Amino acid sequence: MVDVCTYQKTKFKSLDAVVLENERVRAVILPGYGGKMVSFFDKEADYEWLYQTDRPNLEIPPYGADFSNYDSSGFDEMFPGIDKGPHPTDWKEIPDHGEVWTLPWEYKATYDGVSLEVHSPEFPYALKKKICLHGDGVTIKYEAINKSDEPFPFIWTPHALLNLDEHTAIEVPEDMKQVMNVEKGSQHLGDWGTTHAYPETKSAKTGSKIDLSELEPMEEGTAEKFYFTEPLSKGWCSLVQPNLNRKLTYRFPENKVPYLGVWKTRGGYRGEHNIALEPCTGVYDDVYLAEKIGKVSYIPAHGSYTWTLNIETGGL
């Protein structure tokens, strides 16, 4: 089968959008709203993988906005950090959720998809990505460019909130055996910095066994964020939907994207129910902290840092 990808412009919840589509999948991207992907639809399963908002229209946030005050659906980029705080090169403050999710991205059609680019108004970098569809998935090629005379430390992660139900489960390389909690006041994982065996551990609340690769019951109203404490041995992770006989798999170069975080909420954050697999270039959310503990990546002076994220749909 010849994989032909079409490109068209449209509107999505009142905003300008770009649609990439082939016989198996369809992606919708908002260049003016952080370059985020707001839909990734699996035609074979008739299933939307990305968490959707019920808002009739979307509002583009101003630079430096608090992420919790705006729409959280879809897939945006967190860069050059995650938490609000100082950047270690010059102490300028990185906004909540990073910079680029609020910024308009320049874009243009390519022969096989779309390319997007954004330049920081405060820091000496540009971030580029090229998105193309391939069979049953999407490939995103990234390039982060440093315009300064010094190496630029950064954290990147794909903030893709995914749909879930009571059957949803996580798959990771089998040698990933320990996680660290970074959600303050987590109901089951306790205080920030607490480590736990993975996948089975004990609840800090009840002492009973819980499986971190699965979901808590919906009525518990939980919110969890944890990182695996060791770098990934292999560059992949999956979200499994056994009731659909489908899974979504991320593939990426583990030498460039060595860490993995997981976000899960069953109503504990704004009443939402979604999950995110977050392969990342540094931990734990704060660039200043990540550099201090030697778990951050650097864009070389007047150089670039490149990586690829493949998102694949498929059967079990």
Domain ranges in the chain are 6-315
DSSP secondary structure code for residue 7 in this structure: E
**Residue 146 identity:** N
- For residue 113, the SS3 value is strand
pLDDT in tens, 47-93: 999 999 999 999 999 999 999 999 999 999 999 999 999 999 988 99
How buried is residue 54: exposed, middle or buried, by Cβ count under 10 Å (0-12/13-18/19+)? exposed
Instruction: Quote the Cα angle for 137-141-143, to 5°.
Output: 160
DSSP of 37-89:
EEEEEETTTTEE-B-----SS--PPPTT--GGGS---SEEEE-S-SSSEE-TT
pLDDT more than 70, % of the chain? 99
pLDDT tier for residue 2 given thresholds of 50, 70 and 90: very low
Fold of domain 6-315:
Beta-galactosidase; Chain A, domain 5 (2.70.98)
Whose tokens are 């992907």? That residue is 37
Residue in 216, 221, 225, 224 with CA at minimum distance from that of residue 267:
221
pTM (two decimals): 0.95
- Interval 97-114: pLDDT, tens: 999 999 999 999 998 899
